[in-house]
Amino acid sequence: MTKFGSSLSYPPSPRGADEELFHGRRIGDPYRWLEDPDSPQVALWIKAQNALTDSLLSGNPWRQALLARLTQLQQFERRTPAACVQGTLYHWRNTGLQRQPVLWAEALDGSAERVVLDANELSADGTVAVADVAVSPDGRWLAYAVADGGSDWRQWRVRDLCSLQDMPDRLDHARFSGAAWLRDSSGFVYGRYGAPARGRHAALIDHELHLHHVGNAQETDTLLYKRADQPRWVYSPHMSRCGRWLVVRIWDGSANHRVHLVDLHAPDRKPLHLLDEGHAAYFWVGSTAGGELLFHTDALGGTGAVIAIDPQRPQRSHWRTVVAPGPQRLESAVLNGAHLVLCTLHDGASELHRMQLDSGAREPLPLPALGTASGFIVEDATLQPAEAGALHFNFMSFTVAPTVLRIQDERSAARPWFVAKLPFDGADYETVLEWAESADGTLVPMHITRRRGLVLNGQSPCLLIGYGGFGISQRPGFVASRIAWLEMGGMLVQAMLRGGGEYGRAWHDAARLEHKPRTFEDYIAVAEFLVRSRHTRPQLLVAHGGSNGGLTVAASVLARPDLFGAMVSAVPVLDMLRYQRFGIGAAWASDYGLADKAEQFTTLMQYSPLHNVQTGRRYPATLLLTAERDDRVHPAHAFKFAATMQQAQALALEPTAPVLLRVEQRAGHGAGKSARADVHEKTDLYTFIALALGLPYQSGDLS
């Protein structure tokens, strides 16, 4: 039994008469009115839901203690490399509790450094963030993309790096692409849509690539690429080393990509369909001094390879295999002079190797511990293409805060460039790899982080994190708030479920479309293992996931509510019949399928959380986290599910656990959230968990 009390008065959620016909079956949608977050009725409903949640969490000693500790845990300097051009490293710094980070420029020899962009000056409340930056090849211009209140919409601006003054350039309606500078630094290519015509949650169509020249108005930008016959394609621009080829990576919402080229030297700039088969994934790596284009792909095998293509002879028979598929997932490849730095995954953890392009010889690049290497930034060596530039990247683990490592040249090892000083001793904890057997016999791995020497007696609270979708690998990552959870006596478990990418394309494909329920079977199997092995017990097991992971935990908990003591589902996808009608949702059909197709409708109805809530069934305490300005996953997913769960629990004959909704006002899907907003959200999250599990509070528990 939770410590919330046995009776709650939920805000009224009027049931409408909306319904929809699917393949001869009428499906009611009584809370469709909650799909309009701009309506006054919904605004009042959100206010009442937030007030209820706050009333249940306020005044509890856990809340004040957690707020103080999480604030303290955030008070460490963080640095993140952003670009390296003309001997200067551009990197983000946050001294601790700054609402937004600050972009610094520092000479590689350490001779000088200066602030070039302070994102905190973009808004008074810290809710306007810089989502992306790109430095021109000559080091003169900074293109930076501004995101307001957590939105995925971007506005590109241009700053003169000599005067540190902004140019008048304002490029609106940008989304889903970075900026690719021309080699002469006169302008850049970016992706945009037309002006949104039907509200911020309207389905997105007709992405375009435009060329913008510095100092010009957006209306004068040149349209470089658009496919009127493919309105849902999304484009990512990249520039070849020679500056001739605009490499257009095309995403159609599936696990497959296409690559087209635009010859910027040709008068008509007619696209060349370089890789157009649409049955493999392709990621841009770079171009060699000889003009070959390198791609990271699964076209040769599900674990990944690197291929070289001559744009003048693009036929598959002329491809050159640079890195053949191996036993481990190739997560990324970075071109640096005459060699590649390869990052592979070993049971979800990163391993690095350096490979010579000419001979294929490899050597390992040791990392500090089990963890994740990511965010590789190589010095732009355009003027001397055969020479390796300095390479910077992030390294972190569950108890190791993000560290920046530098590889100075092609003979150097990875050495620390910046080490975060955290008010926490990670040596007191350990991370181990364990395996659970899923329903069909597949072994599912998990990383378990716990205090060293912990006795496994079933009395430890456990946070089980799951995702399992879109081929995205769940790797060891540092989240400051989870340190407080460990200090509360908690155990952290991150499962590597099918649907993810930890073991390559086959691992992803094993839980897509009609096989999607395997993700939830895997998650349940991990939960059963944790109970059976006495890591925890059901009353102390918390299901936690965000976005697609919010779907994973909700579907799993609804199927096996007896296995969990609490659930936290953040910015979740929960209405599997209508998700495709909002924003970029249609692009998720490659994993989920569409209710418009009879065979896929059957599978979706089998697990769609919104449609599988049963009145009278006992569910664990539930917290739904979302944000009003989330235009990636419509907040109505959480709204409608909260109303449905609250009604079902209110009608139960026996006392039930609470169903709470917390809606952040000026925030989106997560990126760009201010440090203060993040601390307060995480404070409420862990206060809720402590109350749901009945964890006793004692002064000094958090330290």
* 657 within domain boundaries: yes
* 642 within domain boundaries: yes
Given a contact cutoff of 8 angstroms between Cβ atoms, the answer to whether 524 and 561 are in contact is: no
So what's the pLDDT on residue 367? 96
Query: Active-site residue numbers?
Result: 547, 669
* 375 within domain boundaries: no
Spatial CB neighbours of 290, under 8 Å, sequence gap ≥ 6: none
Spatial CB neighbours of 646, under 8 Å, sequence gap ≥ 6: 10, 13, 659
What is the DSSP secondary structure assignment for residue 354, as one 8-state letter? E
Q: Which amino acid is at 239?
A: M
Q: Which amino acid is at 317?
A: S
* 633 within domain boundaries: yes
* 480 within domain boundaries: yes
Low-confidence ranges of the chain (pLDDT < 50): 1-2, 383
So what's the pLDDT on residue 672? 72
> How far is 699 from 50, CA to CA, in rounded Å?
28
So what's the pLDDT on residue 481? 95
What phi and psi values does residue 175 have, to the nearest 5 degrees? Answer: -170, 145
Give, to the nearest 10 degrees, the angle between helix 675-693 and helix 61-73: 140
So what's the pLDDT on residue 2? 43
| C-alpha separations of 512 from 171, 465, 483, 583 in Å | 37, 20, 33, 21
What is the span of the domain harbouring residue 617?
19-72+424-693
Total-model pTM: 0.95
Given a contact cutoff of 8 angstroms between Cβ atoms, the answer to whether 380 and 85 are in contact is: yes
> How far is 692 from 656, CA to CA, in rounded Å?
12
DSSP SS3 for 69 = helix
* 157 within domain boundaries: no
So what's the pLDDT on residue 587? 92
So what's the pLDDT on residue 6? 56
| Strand intervals (E) in 86-186 | 88-94, 102-107, 113-118, 128-135, 141-148, 154-160, 165-174, 180-181
Q: Kindly state the greatest CA–CA separation across the chain.
A: 75
| CATH number of the domain where residue 513 is located | 3.40.50.1820
User: Could you give the residue ranges of the DSSP H alpha helices within 193-249?
Assistant: none
* 192 within domain boundaries: no
Among candidate residues 377, 434, 480, the one with its CA nearest the CA of residue 90: 377
Beta bridge partners of 416: 405
* 137 within domain boundaries: no
Residue 484: CB atoms within 10 Å? 23
Q: How far is CA 392 from the centre of its chain?
A: 21
Total domains in the chain come to 1
Given a contact cutoff of 8 angstroms between Cβ atoms, the answer to whether 482 and 494 are in contact is: no
